[in-house]
Amino acid sequence: MIDVLVIGGGNAALCAALMAREAGASVLLLEASPRDWRGGNSQHTRNLRCMHDEPQDVLLESYPEEEFWQDLLKVTGGKTDEKLARLVIRASSTCRPWMQKHGVRFQPSLAGTLHLSRTNAFFMGGGKALVNAYYRSAEKLGVQVRYDAPVDRLDLEGGRFVAARVRGQRIAAKACVLAAGGFESNRAWLREAWGQNERGEWPADNFLIRGTRFNQGVLLKHMMEQGADTIGDPSQSHCVAIDARAPLYDGGIVTRVDCVSLGVMLNRDGLRFYDEGEDFWPKRYAIWGRLVALQAGQIGFCIIDSQAVGRFMPPVFPGVQADSLPQLAQRLGLDVGRFMHTLSDYNAACRPGTFDHTVLDDCATVGLVPPKSHWARPIEKPPFFGYALRPGITFTYLGLKTDETAAVRFGGVASDNLFVAGEMMAGNVLGQGYTAGVGMSIGTAFGRIAGEQAARAALKEATLAQA
Residue range at the interface with ligand FAD (CB under 6 A); choices 105-113, 209-217, 322-330, 397-405: 209-217
Choose, by CB under 6 A, the member of 23, 28, 44, 329 that binds ligand FAD: 44
Contact (CB, 8 A) for 154 and 221 = no
Q: Is 113 in the site for ligand FAD (CB under 6 A)?
A: no
Axis crossing angle, helix 82-92 with helix 438-466, rounded to the nearest 10 = 100
Judged by CB, which is closer to ligand FAD: 180, or 379?
180
| Ramachandran angles phi, psi of 335, nearest 5° | -65, 120
Judged by CB, which is closer to ligand FAD: 289, or 386?
289
Choose, by CB under 6 A, the member of 11, 119, 137, 432 that binds ligand FAD: 11
DSSP letters spanning 109-126: PPTTSSS-TTTEEEETTH
Which element (helix H / strand E) includes 396?
strand 384-396
Q: Is 253 in the site for ligand FAD (CB under 6 A)?
A: yes
* Whole-angstrom distance, CA of residue 265 vs CA of residue 357: 17
Choose, by CB under 6 A, the member of 203, 263, 371, 443 that binds ligand FAD: 443
* Whole-angstrom distance, CA of residue 464 vs CA of residue 221: 33
Amino acid in the structure at residue 285: Y
Q: What angle do CA 243, 276, 288 make, to 5 degrees?
A: 45
Minimum distance from CB of 387 to ligand FAD (Å)?
17
Q: Scanning residues 355 to 394, which ones bind ligand FAD (CB under 6 A)? A: 394
Q: Spell out, one character per residue from 140 to 169, where the chain touches ligand FAD: x when CB under 6 A holds, - when not.
A: ----------xx------------------
* Whole-angstrom distance, CA of residue 121 vs CA of residue 58: 6
Q: Spell out, one character per residue from 400 to 439, where the chain touches ligand FAD: x when CB under 6 A holds, - when not.
A: ----------------------xx-------------xxx
Judged by CB, which is closer to ligand FAD: 35, or 381?
35
Amino acid in the structure at residue 260: V
* Whole-angstrom distance, CA of residue 85 vs CA of residue 172: 33
Amino acid in the structure at residue 187: R
* Whole-angstrom distance, CA of residue 79 vs CA of residue 397: 11
Q: Is 395 in the site for ligand FAD (CB under 6 A)?
A: yes
Minimum distance from CB of 114 to ligand FAD (Å)?
9
Q: Is 232 in the site for ligand FAD (CB under 6 A)?
A: no
Minimum distance from CB of 75 to ligand FAD (Å)?
13
Contact (CB, 8 A) for 190 and 221 = no
Q: Is 86 in the site for ligand FAD (CB under 6 A)?
A: no
Choose, by CB under 6 A, the member of 4, 5, 10, 173 that binds ligand FAD: 10
Instruction: For 248-383, list the strands marked E by DSSP.
Output: 264-267, 300-305, 320-322
Minimum distance from CB of 148 to ligand FAD (Å)?
10
The helix/strand/coil state of 176 is strand
Q: Is 47 in the site for ligand FAD (CB under 6 A)?
A: yes
Q: Is 134 in the site for ligand FAD (CB under 6 A)?
A: no
By CB under 6 A, name the binding residues for ligand FAD: 7-13, 30-33, 39-42, 44-48, 150-151, 179-181, 210-212, 214-216, 218-219, 252-253, 394-395, 422-423, 437-440, 443
